[in-house]
Amino acid sequence: MTAADAAARMAELHAEHSGPLLNFLLGLTNGERHAAEDLLQETMIRAWRYLDRVPEDHEGSRRWLFTVARRVTIDAVRMRQVRPAETNLLDLTRMPTADDTTDTVVAADSLRRAVGSLSDAHRTILSELYFRGRSARETATRLGVPVGTVKSRAHYALRTLRDALVLTA
């Protein structure tokens, strides 16, 4: 199969099946659209990788894609179960800046000290992810480290910040 034929086949599969697949995945993710779209994308990537295994007929390809989508979802759930619990992110954009009350000054100082206590690696990760708005993958590429390292450093940096701010409160 030529690259043009493969691209045409994938466009056809996506056009015919992406809507029903997304609805199916929305049901599996309890309506979490972002998660369902990620799972749909992973399903389509697997279809691309194994295009020679996707049946040619409409019903066969539909069954194949739905089976892959279900398995991708199961894999995602299993991966989430073995990962450590994610910490709640601090919304630093909602910190008051114009108010000169004592609480605001103390909170801002506490945050500055907490961020200052982080290692350079942790500060860099938080800066890339939360101030520059880069994804974990973009940050990993930019810093030359694995994506898992970015996620791990972000997790521990946020946990350190949270613990530092709780102690000062």
- How far apart CA 65 and CA 69 sit, in angstroms, is 6
For 20-70, how does the pLDDT look when each residue is reduced to its tens digit (9 = 90+)?
Answer: 999 999 998 888 899 999 999 999 999 999 999 999 999 999 999 999 999
For 101-145, how does the pLDDT look when each residue is reduced to its tens digit (9 = 90+)?
Answer: 677 777 777 878 888 888 889 989 988 888 888 899 999 999 999
Q: Against a cut of 0.85, is the pTM above it?
A: no
Take residue 128 and report the two structure tokens written for it: 């890339």
For 2-30, how does the pLDDT look when each residue is reduced to its tens digit (9 = 90+)?
Answer: 888 889 999 999 999 999 999 999 998 88
Q: Which domains does the chain have, with CATH numbers?
A: 3-82 (1.10.1740), 92-168 (1.10.10.10)
The whole-angstrom distance between residue 119's C-alpha and the CA centroid of its chain comes to 24
Phi, psi of 120 (to 5 degrees): -60, -40
Q: What is the pLDDT of residue 85?
A: 59
Alpha-helical segments (H) within the chain: 3-28, 33-49, 58-82, 102-117, 120-126, 136-143, 147-168
CA distances from residue 149 to 46, 120, 130, 139 in whole angstroms, order as listed: 25, 14, 16, 10
pLDDT over 90 (residue 151): yes
- How far apart CA 158 and CA 163 sit, in angstroms, is 8
